Structure formats: structure tokens, C-alpha cells
Chains A and B, each alone.
Chain A
Amino acid sequence: MNWISNYVRPKINSLFSRRETPENLWSKCPECGTMLFHRELSENLNVCTNCDHHMALTPRERFNALFDGGVYARIEVPEPVADPLQFRDQKKYPDRMRAAQKATGEPEAMLVAQGEIGRTPVVAAAQDFSFMGGSMGMFVGNAIIAAAERAVEQNLPLILFSAAGGARMQEGILSLMQMPRTTVAVQMLKEAGLPYIVVLTHPTTGGVTASYAMLGDIQIAEPNALICFAGPRVIEQTIREKLPEGFQRAEYLLDHGMLDRVTHRKDLRDELITIVRMLTGQSPAVRGDLPPPEPGEDPPADPAPALEPVADSPVEAAKA
């Protein structure tokens, strides 16, 4: 296998998250009520320092923590037809989209990137729960397909971080069709003999769970993440009984044989490195906080697609 030579060097320095919080702010842990200093919280990967509650991470925060030195190259996702059904509820779908884009500073609910973790090149995709509940529509489908295609083309493993309330209702049947579409993407990886690792984060529900998020070779979940097909409220309404404590939470699924592991966020990166390197026949990794990869001597044979400039995100000029 040709892991290193096929690898395109990361070009984008994304050390500075656009959603970095002002330092003088405090926030309250939704689980235990402790007031947490923002900087402390973000240094702890948004895990409550008091009760270990895992709060959401945006894909950028996730990738900053995941990739060596916080450096990764974003993989471009083909833009789907906007508002394919001309959907309108109380608001028009394009208006809801604009509001979500404004609130998050992101174009859509998934970010795909390529980079190194513990000097191990991987492709990663992360779903953004803050963008319309991470919901799966054409874009998320395209993102997963783009991630799988890149992984196959470069012979790399794919790590996927799921977080979604389910399908994007405003795309109707086309959101449902992302279940088979993303499954085709998973099949591409399997047929190429590439590891596909899913990290289920809070919450992962509905059609997302019932497609690519449950088809990993290895299924890891973050502690206490809600993972389900039907949500607890729907079930309680249907069966008219109270559900047991911890029902549909990561640990409950682990107990019922639905997951391989439940892993604390602080240990997750090391664990991913360990697993990926074993599955791909590589030697044990060098541990620790690795600096960003040095730019290679030779220009990459197949440069990563250029990023459209994003206004307030510092983009390091590509060396090539």
C-alpha cells in the first residue's frame, strides 16, 4: 500500500476557528449547571470539566483537535441543486438555509477534509449539528460521496463523525434518497478495502443512523450520546410507557451489542490513530501533540481542489 506517496499535503491552515469564543465569556454546563470559562472549556474539547458532559463540537473545532497541528485540507463538496422541491412551510427553505448559514458561518451541515492524525493520513467528514440540526439532504450526501471518492482515490481510511436529527425534511424524498446514496459511498470504501470508522456523537438519529452512521467497520460513540432510529418521545407516545434510564444512550447501545466502543473525547484521537494504523498495516504511532506536517519537497502530484476563499478564516497560501 502506498499511503504516503499518494498523499496530498494539507494546504489550509485552519488553526483559527471562525467560531472561536471570546475569552471573557462563561457558559453553563447543560448537564450539571457548572459555570465554565470558555477558554477552559474549549481547551477541554468542550467537555465539562466538572461532570464530563460532552458538548457539541463544530466540524472545524473537531478537525482542529483531530489533525496534527490542527492542519487539514478541505475537500470540496459538489454543490447540489438549491431547494430542489421548492419547499415552503411557515418559512421558505432558502430563507431557512440563509439563516443557518448566517448563524453558523458554514455553507452546509458537513465538512470534509484530508490531513494527518499521528502522522497517519486520513480523510475525515464531520456533521455539524448547529446547522439545521445536522440534517441530511443532498449536500450531506454529496459530502459523504466526495469523502469516499477521495479516500478511494488516495487509498486512505475514512473517519466519519455523525451528528444529526435525521433527514432534511425540506428536501423531502431526496433527503430519504441519501440513505441509499451514502450507502453506495460506504460500499466504495469496502470494495477498495479501506477502513471506514464511524464516531457517533450526540445526537445521531433517524435516517442518518439508519444508513452510513451504522455501517462502519468500527463503531465508536462519545459518552452519553443519544443514538437511535426513532426518538425517545416518539417511542413513549407509541408504547405509552416510560423508557428505562439511559435508553438509547451510547452506553446502553454498547450493552446491547450495537457499538464497538464508547470513548471519552480526550482519548478519541489516540484511539483512532491506533485503530487506523493497525487496520492499514502500519507501525505503532508516535504519540503526543504533533506539529503540522512539514511541506514536502515536491509539489503534490494531484493537488487538492482549491478552496473558495472564506472571508474571516485565515487561509494559508498553498506552497505550490
Chain B
Amino acid sequence: MTHYLEFEKPLAEIEGKAEELRALARANEEMDVEQEAAALDQKAADMLKDLYKTLSPWRKCQVARHPERPHCIDYIEALFTEYTPLAGDRNFADDHAVVGGLARLNDRAAMVIGHEKGNDTKTRIERNFGMARPEGYRKAIRLMDIADRFNIPVITLVDTPGAYPGKGAEERGQSEAIARSTEKCLSIGVPLISVIIGEGGSGGAVALATANRVAMLEHSIYSVISPEGCASILWKDAEKMREAAEALRLTAQDLSRLGVVDRIIPEPMGGAQRGRSETIANVGKTIAALLDDLSAKDRGTLIKDRRKKFLAMGSKGLAA
């Protein structure tokens, strides 16, 4: 059962009709609907292509948040072998919104860390919808430290609406944890590669995405604030999220023009949710290529290049 986004409603109708026809034919052997159904399929395919050819920034937000989009654990399971999750911040708790551990990518050891949103009610609650608490960032810091000490590259998969705005999270130092995680990203002498696979929500994303190379899936987003939040502050009307999404330049394409993102990873027609394994494979290829790119650099160069990259960021605006 496909989950259709709001702007996909006309598509849902056509695909639904085709499905109905075929169901009828299955129930009634005399009926021959294939020609009619195939025509509907073609119409749906054309419409899908049309819809996804030029997705507005707000539609991209919806695609980026699509519940059937592959999530962090899907990538880890498909792309890595010998995944050995490592838990806890050694201080307070294990935050299930941030997962991570040792794993092999094409036989090579890596430390993989990411936000996990969950994929049904139960796991979404368990994962707190991918909104990390300080413990999550402190776990990430710990894992980056291990990677740094044993000379293992770090790969982060970013997918969060933002860090969790909760009472305990604040009391335990959400700001400090995010700041330290960003600081750790900037300090490690091993390759650090980040892929924004869905939502790159503000400080909660940056804490894991201050990387040597940042790649983004074609329909993912990365922003200082959600379009809804921005709309309610600047337009005083949360319903102006379309305008806000436009103004914020949060798409992979705009971020690449701004020099914030190094690589855009293509998604199959109709978004990652319509071709999960193809998407995952594309991400895998990109990570491997970026790792190859960085593997010859020594520790000092990796740190220096990373800092230089962020210091220079934004100096040219959209002309970058």
C-alpha cells in the first residue's frame, strides 16, 4: 500500500483505478482489462514524471519526510556488513534516535552513525521520530573518538526534523552536546563523510554533518529551520510554509549552488520511496567514491581541509 503525498493525489486516483481494474479481472476471468489498465499505467507514469520533473521546495520537503523513504537503519543493513551497534553515552542513557557502530563497507571498517526515525508507530516512538537528545550527540562524540583513535573513517547518515525540544534534553545540556559534537566533527583526523538522506534539521543535523564531504539525496532538504517554523515566525502564519520553503533555499540543488553540499545523489523517478533499493545503492556508490577520494589524505590534511572548507563557506553567496 503506497503512501501518497498530498500533491500525488491525482496520481493516486489513476494508479488506484488501474489496480481496481486488475482486481476485477482477477475476480472475473472473462474480463480483459489489460489494455485499459496498461493505458492507465502509462498515464500514471507520465504524470509521475511530470510531477517529479520540477518539484517545488515545499514538495521536496514532503518527499524528504515521506514515511516510506529508506531510513538510516535500512542503509546500514543494505550497504554494510558485520554491523556491530555500539550503545550509550556512558553518562546517562542510550538515545535510540541516534544509532551507530562499527561496520564494514566493501570489507573496509568504518564507523557509521545516523539519525533513525523509525517506520511504524511503535518504532517511531522508540526512536523519538529521529529527534535526538543530548545523549545521542554524546554517543556520536564517543563513536567519533573511537574512530579517530583507531583510524577508521566515519560515515554519518543525517535524517532528523531537529534536536528534541524537551525538558530533560535542555536540562542535560542539549546545546552543549550539539556544540561538542560539531567540535568533534572538526577535530577528528579520519575521513568524515555525511549523507543527508531525508531531513537535515538545523543544529541537530549540523552536529553530525560537519564533514569533509557532504552529499545529499536529490529530494532531501537541509535547513536552519523548518519551513513551517520559519513561516510562523517571519510570516506570522504557519500556512505560508510554501513561501518559506522557497525562500530558505533548502533543496539539494540550491545548497550545491551555495557550496554547502559537495555531491547530489540521484533518486529514482518518483523519489526514494518508489525505488528504495536503487536509492540505497546510489548512496552506497557515492560513499565509496568519496571515501576513495579522501583515503590518501593524512590526518593533518583531513582536519585542515575540513576547517578550511567551513571557514570559506558562504563567502560567495549563490554565486559559489
Contacts and interface: CB of A to CB of B under 8 A. Distances in A.
Interface of A: 80-81, 83-90, 138, 141, 145, 167, 169-177, 179-181, 183-184, 186-187, 206-207, 209-215, 227-230, 234-235, 238-239, 241, 243, 247-248, 256-258
Nearest to B312: A181
B224 A176 contact: yes
Interface in B300-320: 307, 310-311, 313-319
A234 B165 contact: yes
A229 B174 contact: yes
Contacts of B183: 183, 186-187, 215
Interface string B231-262: 00111000000011001111000010010100
B182 A85 contact: no
B176 interface: yes
Interface in B150-175: 163-167, 169-175
B14 interface: no
A179 B206 contact: yes
A89 B166 contact: no
A229 B314 CA distance: 24
B203 A184 contact: no
B224 A230 contact: no
The 6 closest A-B CB pairs, nearest first, are A230-B165, A84-B317, A209-B175, A81-B317, A89-B234, A210-B178
B174 A230 contact: yes
Interface residues of B, number: 53
Contacts of A228: 170, 175
Contacts of B222: 173
Contacts of A83: 317
B234 A210 contact: no
Nearest to B310: A180
A180 B206 contact: yes
Chain B interface main SS type: helix
B38 to A, nearest CB: 44
B223 interface: yes
B186 A85 contact: no
A189 to B, nearest CB: 12
A84 B258 contact: yes
A173 B248 CA distance: 7
B109 interface: no
Given A141-B314, A167-B224, A228-B170, 19 more contacts: A84-B258, A89-B234, A89-B235, A171-B314, A172-B247, A173-B222, A179-B178, A180-B310, A183-B182, A187-B186, A209-B179, A211-B182, A214-B173, A214-B175, A227-B175, A229-B165, A229-B170, A229-B175, A238-B166
A243 B168 CA distance: 11
Contacts of A145: 311
B119 interface: no
B190 interface: no
Given A80-B315, A81-B314, A187-B186, A229 B235 contact: no
A64 B117 CA distance: 50
6 contacts: A169-B234, A179-B203, A181-B311, A210-B175, A247-B170, A257-B173
A259 to B, nearest CB: 10
Nearest to B203: A210
A177 B306 CA distance: 13
A181 B313 contact: yes
Nearest to A248: B170
B62 interface: no
Interface in B190-216: 202-203, 206-207, 210
Contacts of A248: 170
A181 B310 contact: yes
B187 interface: yes
Contacts of A230: 163, 165-166, 169-170, 174
